[in-house]
Amino acid sequence: MPPIRKVGIKQQRVAVVGGGLSGVTAALELSAKGYEVTLYEAGDTLLSRMRAMGEDLLPQAVIDADLEPLEKLGVQVKLQTLISFNGGDCGIAELIEKFDAVYMGCGQPFDAEWQNLLAKDNLNRIQIDPLTYATSHARVFGGGTLRYSPAPYSPITSIQEGRYAAVSVDRYLQGASLLAGRENEGLCTSKLYTDISGYEPTPEVKASSADGHYSREEAQQEAVRCFPCSCMECVKTCEYLKEYGSYPKRYVREIYNNLCIVMGTRNLNKMINSCSLCGLCEVRCPEHVSMAEICLDARQTMVETQKMPVSAHEFALRDMAFSASDSFAMARHQPGHSSSAALFFPGCQLSASSPEHVQSCYEFLCASEPGGIGLVLGCCGAPALWAGRKDLFDASMQQLEATWTRMGKPRIITACSSCFRTLKEAKPEIQVQSLWPHLNHEELLRGKGNDNSTPYAIHDPCSTRGVEEVEGGARDLLRGMGVLPLELNPRGETTCCGYGGLACFVNPELTARTIQRRAAESTADFITYCAMCRDSFARQGKRALHVLDLIFPEGNDDAAARKDPGYSGRQENRARLKKTMLERLWKEGQTAVKKATSVHIPEEIVALMERRMILREDVCTTIEHAELTGEKMMIPGNGHLLACYRPACVTYWVEYAPANDTFDVFNVYSHRMQVR
Amino acid sequence: MSVKKQSESAITLVCCKCGEEFVKASVTASYLGAEFPIELWKCHGCGVVYIPEELAVGKMLKVEQALEDK
């Protein structure tokens, strides 16, 4: 028997009549709930029917051990005490008088003298509700063989009746509904899905003895046939759901509790912010429960109630602000056109990862599509959406909508799956198209790709999971180049690379495991059509190509080994793309940009900055401030300088030394706390 | 980090602005409205406080995260 713990102490008293299985069970349950319980048994001992089974079948010592909790929980046991119906100290009427509730588990047949107290049914038994175990008297409940005889005796049924009756007694004493939420008590049809495909069918073990009872060995063999019924379809496919050791039903409750905490620590904040919002759980779940929806909703609530940890998404939102700023954002009609038949919106991540591809795609679209193709650089606002920042997201959408309106409300062709989905969902009035079908031109694809001697494995981005225009469009391009990739999963069941939902900023360790798990699914080089997915794999050392690497190859470089540019490199690439496009295509020189301080940062410090989410710009600004104000420290041992600077909410520390026209950087760290 | 602790009362760090050495002093760390007294190295002249790397990325980070979850 599992250990029973008493939860609190209540003042109310309960009498349990009958020391059989249902009575003992009810006594244990009610005592554990904190009630003062007295258990009456007419005979010399409890569980006499169990004890009569014989020492070889059920030893007395086992029964005694199972009864020990009664004493530990403080149940008063009164043996040789027959509850009569004729009054006196042990009359039923007196029990009802003295106790707050009475459970009848005594197995007594109906006695005519009870009629004054309790109604009977048409079998002449005490009338007991089969769901609540209530009798006609509000304080009296009944169960066990008293209720279910003349059906054959069943120890399991008796225990069940004692347990469920205890629930009713508790509810009655608490003033709660006896009926609410009890539909699934006892035998019911379960909605639980269990994948049994991994289990070989095995025949039932038959008892060899004449009485039909199992031997010890037979019972064990039969028990081995039982496997744990559980669904876990979503947990099996998701590193995030696995990480927290449970499953969505419990997570939903825990997240709700986390949001309700007024004073105290919200331990689940990081968990809520670690979901990539990819929605694979919803696809896999037989009931289509979406943890993405739950986590996103929780994030929005956290923002609204000002309970979102300030550091969680700040770095990502700063990056988004950069993409929406003049450093990157721009909109132009195609050179020589005063209107646009469509706008090319490559998205901020392709521009950050491979600006050359944006340029190539744009030039191809301009040459192949009539009516003028405008170019819009900027951000769709997905990071704000994922951070639960509805205010920022709405502002971002307004900015984009204003640009779209100014450009004549044409179609938008995007190269980014997240932009595709975000725009489609937030602005259904905008006609959004995937870039891939627009590149499906025989002359463009001819002679590209590989010979399939070392096939690629295709990874679909999660934002457009199951969207044929995007998934199919990308495959058509590959087919057009004669590339036949291996499928990593059934179509429509792709996983997230870890960038989604900004999980990588909150829980980089979990994100790394997510990517490694995906990467391990095939030794082949991956091919994808999302810049962020490609770079996420590259960051974890998985060789990965973007489909544009095949269509617009850059020199003879091993494109699958191309490194992730890093956070600073991503911003620099975006700014460079805008500058190049304006100069080359629109012959516009940008207004003079302040020359950044020249710094030399060794590779290991760059990697450290990535982990600590510190940008090259932060390092430069800190050094500039120190050199301008003289606010710096000297480390006499090596002659290095140490500077700190707090431009906004983070204090950056840089250890550096001047070297000719540049500064050598030796260490970088930051903190948010202020010290005075 | 190349800043070394020489003894309980001295580290190898000089303030470039004041030319002063750093001395141990009680300062106040604050974040999200919470304040704590802490003993750290401070320039005797201008009062700038030195926060070692191991403190910034270790205990200080943990306290910041704990306060953010409050």
Residue A425: give its domain's CATH number: 3.40.50
pLDDT tens, position by position, A311-344: 999 999 999 999 999 999 999 999 999 999 999 9
pLDDT tens, position by position, A433-442: 999 999 999 9
pLDDT at position A87 is 57
pLDDT band at A111 (very low <50, low <70, confident <90, very high): low
| Average pLDDT of chain A to the nearest whole number | 93
Shared domain for A494 and A431, answered yes or no, is no
pLDDT at position A644 is 95
Shared domain for A151 and A41, answered yes or no, is yes
pLDDT band at A3 (very low <50, low <70, confident <90, very high): confident
Residue A202 forms part of a structural domain: no
**Ranges A66-75, A555-564, A574-583: which has the least confidence:** A555-564
Domains of chain B, by residue range, sit at 5-68
Enumerate chain B positions whose Cβ falls within 8 A of a Cβ in A: 1-4, 12-17, 22, 27-32, 38, 40, 43, 46, 48-51, 53, 56-57, 60-61, 63-66, 68-70
Total number of domains constituting chain A: 5
pLDDT at position A108 is 65
A645 vs A114: which has the higher pLDDT: A645
For residue A321, give its domain range. 314-439
> Mind telling me how many Å the CA of A632 is from chain B's nearest CA?
6
Residues of chain B positioned with their CB less than 8 A from the CB of A632: 16-17
Position A42 pLDDT exceeds 80: yes
Position A377 pLDDT exceeds 80: yes
Shared domain for A108 and A30, answered yes or no, is yes
Contact status, residue A21 vs residue A158, Cβ threshold 8 Å: yes
**Ranges A29-38, A305-314, A515-524, A630-639: which has the least confidence:** A630-639
Residues of chain A positioned with their CB less than 8 A from the CB of B4: 637
Position B4 pLDDT exceeds 70: no
- Tell how strand A432-434 and strand A411-414 pair up: parallel
Shared domain for A110 and A252, answered yes or no, is no
Residue A212 forms part of a structural domain: no
Shared domain for A62 and A144, answered yes or no, is yes
Shared domain for A17 and A153, answered yes or no, is yes
Residue A45 forms part of a structural domain: yes
pLDDT at position B27 is 95
Contact between chains at A640 and B51 (C-beta distance less than 8 A): no
Shared domain for A17 and A160, answered yes or no, is yes
Contacts of A402 (CB under 8 A, 6+ apart): none
Please say whether the structural domain B5-68 has been given the CATH code 2.60.120. Answer: no
Provide the β-strand partners of residue A271: none
Shared domain for A69 and A23, answered yes or no, is yes
Domain boundary among A387, A418, A439: A439
Domain boundary among A246, A273, A304: A304
Mean pLDDT within A356-371 = 97
Q: What is the CA radius of gyration of chain B?
A: 13
Shared domain for A19 and A168, answered yes or no, is yes
Mean pLDDT within A93-100 = 91
Shared domain for A326 and A422, answered yes or no, is yes
Residues of chain A positioned with their CB less than 8 A from the CB of B22: 633
Residue A624 forms part of a structural domain: yes
Contact between chains at B30 and A266 (C-beta distance less than 8 A): no
Position B1 pLDDT exceeds 60: no
Shared domain for A37 and A154, answered yes or no, is yes
CA distance A272 to A86: 63
Residue A553's φ and ψ, nearest 5 degrees, are -65, 140
Shared domain for A525 and A558, answered yes or no, is yes
Nearest to A342 by CA among A426, A415, A444, A418: A415
- A253 burial type by CB count under 10 A (0-12 exposed, 13-18 middle, 19+ buried): exposed
Domain boundary among A416, A439, A462: A439
**SS3 for B33?**
coil
Position A369 pLDDT exceeds 60: yes
pLDDT at position A473 is 97
pTM for this model (two decimals) = 0.81
pLDDT band at A185 (very low <50, low <70, confident <90, very high): confident
Contact between chains at B2 and A666 (C-beta distance less than 8 A): yes
pLDDT at position A328 is 96
pLDDT tens, position by position, A506-562: 999 999 999 999 999 999 999 999 999 999 999 999 999 999 999 999 876 789 999
CA distance A386 to A141: 53
Position A474 pLDDT exceeds 70: yes
Residue A591 forms part of a structural domain: no
Mean pLDDT within A253-261 = 95
Position A392 pLDDT exceeds 80: yes
pLDDT at position B8 is 58
